[in-house]
Structure formats: structure tokens, C-alpha cells
Amino acid sequence: MYARLSSILFPIATLLFIGAIVWGYQEHQEKNSVLIKAENQYQRAFHDLSHHMGRLHDQLGQTLAVSSASQGMQRKGLVNVWRLTSQAQNEINQLPLAMLPFNKAEEFLTRISSFAYRTAVRDLTKQPLTPEELKTMKSLYKTAESVNLELGKVQDAVISDHLRWMDVEVAMASENSPNDNTIIDGFKAMDKQMGAYPETDWGPSAMSADRKLSTAGLDGKNMTMEEIKKKALDFLGHQARGADAKVTEDGSKSDMEAYTVTVKGQGGANIQLDYTRKGGHLLWFMNPREVKSRKLDFDTARNKASQFLIRHDYKDMTPITYDEYDHVAVFTYVRTIDGVKIYPDKVTVRVALDNGEGVGLQASDHVFAKKLLTPGKAKISKEQAQKGLNPEFRVEDYSLAVIENDMRETILCHEFVGRVNDHRYRIFMSAETGLEENIEEIPESAKAIAK
């Protein structure tokens, strides 16, 4: 009987054993195939990075070599610098460096890209490169040379020693690893080189591009937690009747010192408000209560939003866009001066469509916007500016407006709203030059309500 069972089971066991070996071999082959593919992608990204960093250094040198009167060649060079920097950033993101402190290098490349782009897009015939910007480019050129030397050492080691990027990934993922990998050491040296670049050497273009929000320039005194708590409860009014407010401090010892106030609202939802410490300016308010039905029409909701702003002392605001979701109407308002819309100075209001209650406010743009006293006077008339539009553009609305250009400078424009190619656009024509300053497509879902 046992002999009979053995004669049946032994072939079956043999087949299973052989099948397991074949399956394991196939799994091993597939795993190797995936690893080889990943290694090839890492190698390609690394050598592309090395190539583009070398090209970036060369392009900076070529841009510095041309005459200061050759604005066309300078612009072309700066555009190439911006393009090459963007490619280098993309290739760094493809390498397994997520666990490696590489923030200084990434910040350095971001600022080169921003500096090059914002310098290239301006009219260099009217605003040529300043001595400070040329000094900046010379420093960039020297730093790029140092970085390329370090990158070249890594590349030589990768090629001569047949180093694998998969080993880098394993080394960084291992908690007990000393991380003494040649590639890791090379990229740490690169990061150190880029981080050594002096912060003060950046020109005005880069500094305007990297504008950071800071409460230092705001009006008012530093507020206490109790003062902020009172402001929040006064703002909420009946929404916080009988409720207790909890105040926490955010951004201590930073450029954005603020307080967060949390209040238990009706229905159990946590209402939240953020205030700046200096001046006690409201940045954000949100009442996340559920809105189950729509009872108000568009006109009523807009009136409710306008009344909400006036009640909270946001004056001279004009609605420009409207959207709706989950029975909540969302309006964007901009400040107006003498009928001119000031786009950088804006707030967004959320209105519940069941009872018209204001359930949200985003006001940080309003708080940190440059407070203009006058929009200025247009040098180019509406009719002259309109001649610069596409002949097929059908104008539906017009107004004067102030926007920010690529240099973060406020500029007065003629704003034309209309259609071309079955889409709606806002086209801003400079009131000084008559040229296009900016173009925005207006999504069909965001209905324009500018008067």
C-alpha cells in the first residue's frame, strides 16, 4: 500500500519541486530585469545631469562674454540658462536622493532658474542688466564651475569603479549604514558647494522672485493670545455664542508669527481662524459645517457675500469670479480705487446657500498686498490698447486694472474680457506701452461676474 502511494506521490512531489525551482528562477529573472531597468534609468538621469550642468556653466560664461549692448544675445543666453537649470532640476528629481539632504543644491538651482527667467522676460533694451546682476552672474559662473568639478569626480568614479545607483538607494535606506558611499559623498560635497553661495549676492530680479511673506512690515502692535481670542469671538458673533475658544501660537521666531483660534461651532464642527501676531490681521477663516441644500439664487448669494465683507470692514471690494460646489458659493473680490480693480489685493468669500451665512474667508493676499493710494494714470488710451488685440478677439467687457508683472511690480493695465476660439480670456494690455502684460483663460466653471 505504501509502495503504491509512493509511486503516486513521488512523481507529484517531483513535479511540484521542479515547478517551484522554475517559478523561483522566473521571479529571480523578473526581479533582476526590474533592477537593471531602474539602474539604467538612474545612470541615464545622472549622466544627463552632468551634461546639463556642464552646459549651464558654459552658457553662463557665454552670456557674460558678449557685449553689454548685445541685449538680444544676453536674452538668448539667459533663456538657455533657465532651460538648462529646469532640466537639471528634473534630473535630480529622478535620482534616489530623497533621503539625502540636498535642499541647498535644489534651492540654488531654483534661484538660478528664477533669476534667469525674470531677467530674460523684461525688456533689456529699456532695463539692461545692472552692475549688481552682472556681478551675480559672475558669482554664479564660479559656483557652477566648482559644482561641475565635484560632479566630474563622481562621474569618473561611477565609470571607473562601475558604481551602481541601486547601492546608493540601499545605503540611504539602511538605518545602520554609515553612508560612506562614493556617490553619496560626492553629492554631499555638491550640496555644500551650492550652499556656500552668498545670500546677499542675489540681484534684485531674484530677490523679487523669491519674495517671502513676512509680518514685519504689517501695521499694528504685537497682539496677545487674549486679544486675538476676543477678535475671533467678535468676528464670529452669533456663530460662537456661548462657545469657548482655544488659541495656539504658530511660526514662533519666524517671519510668519501667527495665532490659530479654534472654536467649537454649532453642530460640532471646529471653526478655525488664523491671525497674524503683529497687528492681529485675519488671514483665514473656515467654518466646515455641512450645507445640505441650496435655497438662495446667485444674486442673493452675491449680496450676502458683499454684506459679509462690509460687516467685517473690507471696503471698496468688487466681485470678479464666482464658483459653486457642495451648495457653497465661492466669490473672489478685489479692491477697487476710483473704479480701477487692484488684482493683487483680493479676498475669497464662501457663502452657504442654505441660509446665506459666511462660512469661509481667505484674506492673506489682502493682508500682504502693497497698499496703493492711487492706481496712476494711463498713458495709452483704451482705443490704442485695443488695437493690439487679436482681430478675432470679441470684447465683452472692459475696465482698468492693476496687476503684478513677472518682476512682482504693480502695473496699470487695460483689462479686456472676451472670447476667441470658443474660450473666454482676460487680456491685460499695459497702460504705459500698449503691449500684452498678461493673459488669463477664464474657465467655464468659474463664471466671471465683473461688471
Q: What is the pLDDT along the chain (451 residues), one digit of tens a residue?
A: 556 656 666 666 666 666 667 666 565 555 656 567 766 777 787 778 788 888 888 888 888 887 777 788 888 888 888 888 888 888 877 776 554 445 566 777 877 888 888 888 777 887 888 888 888 888 888 888 887 887 777 777 766 766 666 665 555 555 444 444 565 666 666 666 555 544 434 444 444 444 556 676 788 888 899 999 889 888 988 766 667 788 888 765 556 788 899 988 766 778 899 998 888 999 989 988 888 889 998 899 999 999 999 999 999 999 988 888 888 999 999 999 999 999 999 999 999 998 999 999 999 989 988 888 888 899 999 999 999 998 899 999 999 999 987 667 889 999 999 998 888 889 999 999 888 888 888 876 555 464 4
Q: How many C-beta neighbours within 10 Å does residue 40 have?
A: 11
Domains contained in the chain, number: 3
- Whether residue 172 is contained in a domain is answered as yes
| Contact by Cβ (8 Å): 266, 289 | yes
Of 286, 281, 252, 426, which is closest to residue 367 (Cα–Cα)? 281
Q: Are residues 251 and 362 in the same domain?
A: yes
Q: Are residues 144 and 19 in the same domain?
A: yes
Q: Are residues 288 and 392 in the same domain?
A: no
Q: Are residues 279 and 324 in the same domain?
A: yes
Q: Are residues 250 and 109 in the same domain?
A: no
Q: Are residues 364 and 229 in the same domain?
A: yes
Grid cell for residue 78: 539667459
Q: Are residues 195 and 334 in the same domain?
A: no
- Whether residue 416 is contained in a domain is answered as yes
The H-assigned helical ranges of 329-408 are 364-368, 382-386
Q: Are residues 51 and 175 in the same domain?
A: yes
- Whether residue 376 is contained in a domain is answered as no
Q: Are residues 272 and 176 in the same domain?
A: no
Q: Are residues 15 and 157 in the same domain?
A: yes
| Contact by Cβ (8 Å): 173, 78 | no
- Distance, in Å, from the CA atom of 414 to the CA atom of 427, rounded to the nearest integer, reads 8
| Contact by Cβ (8 Å): 186, 194 | no
Amino acid identity, position 201: D
- Whether residue 348 is contained in a domain is answered as yes
- Whether residue 414 is contained in a domain is answered as yes
Name the residue range of residue 395's domain.
382-448
Grid cell for residue 174: 539602511
Give residue 83's Cα distance to chain centre.
18
Tell me which of 315, 342, 368 is where a domain ends: 368
